[in-house]
Structure 1
């Protein structure tokens, strides 16, 4: 990367972080979205009305991310999962999940960067996002490591069953909820298991933080609700009448998101196997 590109990248990141802090502050002042109106009117999912779910077919492209796959399965992204523009991804994840505009720009721009494509004019297939140690990483809570299972577009039902069975929280009506402590415990176990079973296992602070961030969407966007997570993680579809649990005016900012991600990651405890 040349000096000009490096400077541009730094200035872009500074701008996004500053923008994000402003949105986080405004979220504290502005009214929240009312139930049924978190997804904007005229967009798929408004008032809990999602397009028909169609399971992926042979030749369709899917990623290691259940939330993006669900968007393709419901036709919010092309059902084929192919030739998606980064700008289309930015727009649709904001509308679908109520992530803040900063979040929705940063992640597709990051993907464009590691795929060596233009954010403004480039396209990608969902499977491209499963490039190992970019966004996809070892010790995922919903996939076996890519060194063991090449196709990262399909969920591992055994891992998901174990994850959701570990939910210890309870909602106001007695519904099962995942908690930060539950995720920390699950990540601890997965990292130890993955390291033991995968001879090519790799780990870094960046990928650990990304793993905790991916997992934390279950607590933020889904409110930890197991009933909603079962169809999302196993079939990669939206539950009937579902809408994002983040109702703030500008959506989930990176600053707010980190108040969940950091405790989850700091709660991970990986014990060394005794000799």
Structure 2
């Protein structure tokens, strides 16, 4: 990719300018049809996902269930190693119906903080989860802080159970849904708890944004649907027939995702849990 050779600030200008125009196009373009969100010829097209195989000893996994699911279904290498950045970019886009801007930005960002070349090098999922370097951060909703559990590739089920139990929404069919308010409340609780119990606690603005971006994905890509998230978050596998809930023609843009991020962050009141 030619963009990988640009200075970081030029990469960002190109990516976010393109994202702006994709967002405008999505406003007028027809939506993708339910059942045809995943591109034809891509893994998962028509809801037919490659076989799920849990990771075995020695396999690498990240703190991100969405990335781990790609490896567990063999869309990325099942051992989570020697992943080309271009493949990471492409499969995140096609599987979750992101606009090309988000996965490209993320893959370039990962290559940069690992001091690797996007075009020629590879990475593994554990590298992506280096503590406070990239996507991994304290006060996760799905993992214990690295202070207490260095293996960030393993979900922490008590947190996930508490998160899903907090769901207060329902769809037209009565299915339970997580809402923006639910995720803001639970994020505030986790930040307060982690700050109080972890002597090495750090959560800068960048990682607050990462945390809220992840929450936004639960609401947009997965529609906040508790029944689906049970499998996605606990087993890191796709439910049979699943596809992204994002129907935008060009996929989920930064601009669209950040609207949800803003709402989430605005609703996080850590002080409500400081003395709980």
Q: Is the 8 A contact 1:188 1:268 kept in 2?
A: yes
- Per the alignment, residue 178 of structure 2 pairs with 178
- Per the alignment, residue 56 of structure 2 pairs with 57
| 1:132-171 alignment, distance < 5 Å | 132-134=131-133, 135-171=135-171
- Per the alignment, residue 195 of structure 2 pairs with 195
CA distance in 2: counterparts of 1:265 and 1:177, whole angstroms: 19
Query: Which string of whole-angstrom CA distances, capped at 9 and with x for unpartnered residues, describes residues 206-264 of structure 1?
Result: 11111111111000000110011000000000011100000111100000001101100
Query: Which string of whole-angstrom CA distances, capped at 9 and with x for unpartnered residues, describes residues 42-87 of structure 1?
Result: 1111111111100000111000000000000000001000000111
Quickly say closer, same or farther: Cα 1:113–1:34, change in 2 above 3 A.
same
Would you say how many aligned residue pairs link Structure 1 and Structure 2? 270
CA distance in 1: counterparts of 2:91 and 2:75, whole angstroms: 7
- Per the alignment, residue 80 of structure 2 pairs with 81
> How far off its partner does 1:205 sit?
1.3
CA distance in 1: counterparts of 2:178 and 2:240, whole angstroms: 20
Q: Is the 8 A contact 1:53 1:74 kept in 2?
A: yes
CA distance in 1: counterparts of 2:6 and 2:93, whole angstroms: 27
Q: Unaligned regions of 5+ residues in structure 1, if any?
A: none
Quickly say closer, same or farther: Cα 1:10–1:256, change in 2 above 3 A.
same
- Per the alignment, residue 255 of structure 2 pairs with 255
- Per the alignment, residue 107 of structure 1 pairs with 106
CA distance in 1: counterparts of 2:161 and 2:182, whole angstroms: 14
Quickly say closer, same or farther: Cα 1:6–1:194, change in 2 above 3 A.
farther
> How far off its partner does 1:99 sit?
0.7
Quickly say closer, same or farther: Cα 1:7–1:239, change in 2 above 3 A.
closer
CA distance in 2: counterparts of 1:110 and 1:214, whole angstroms: 16
CA distance in 2: counterparts of 1:239 and 1:49, whole angstroms: 10
Q: Is the 8 A contact 1:35 1:47 kept in 2?
A: no
- Per the alignment, residue 246 of structure 2 pairs with 246
2:213 pairs with 1:213: yes
Quickly say closer, same or farther: Cα 1:27–1:193, change in 2 above 3 A.
same
SS in 1 for 2:201: coil
Q: Is the 8 A contact 1:142 1:155 kept in 2?
A: yes
Where does structure 1 differ by over 3 angstroms across 4 or more consecutive aligned residues?
none
CA distance in 2: counterparts of 1:59 and 1:7, whole angstroms: 36
- Per the alignment, residue 267 of structure 1 pairs with 267
CA RMSD of aligned residues (A): 1.4
CA distance in 2: counterparts of 1:55 and 1:129, whole angstroms: 19
- Per the alignment, residue 225 of structure 1 pairs with 225
> How far off its partner does 1:191 sit?
0.2
- Per the alignment, residue 126 of structure 2 pairs with 127
> How far off its partner does 1:6 sit?
12
CA distance in 2: counterparts of 1:176 and 1:222, whole angstroms: 12
2:112 pairs with 1:117: no
CA distance in 2: counterparts of 1:195 and 1:212, whole angstroms: 17
Q: Unaligned regions of 5+ residues in structure 2, if any?
A: none
CA distance in 2: counterparts of 1:112 and 1:168, whole angstroms: 39
> How far off its partner does 1:179 sit?
0.4
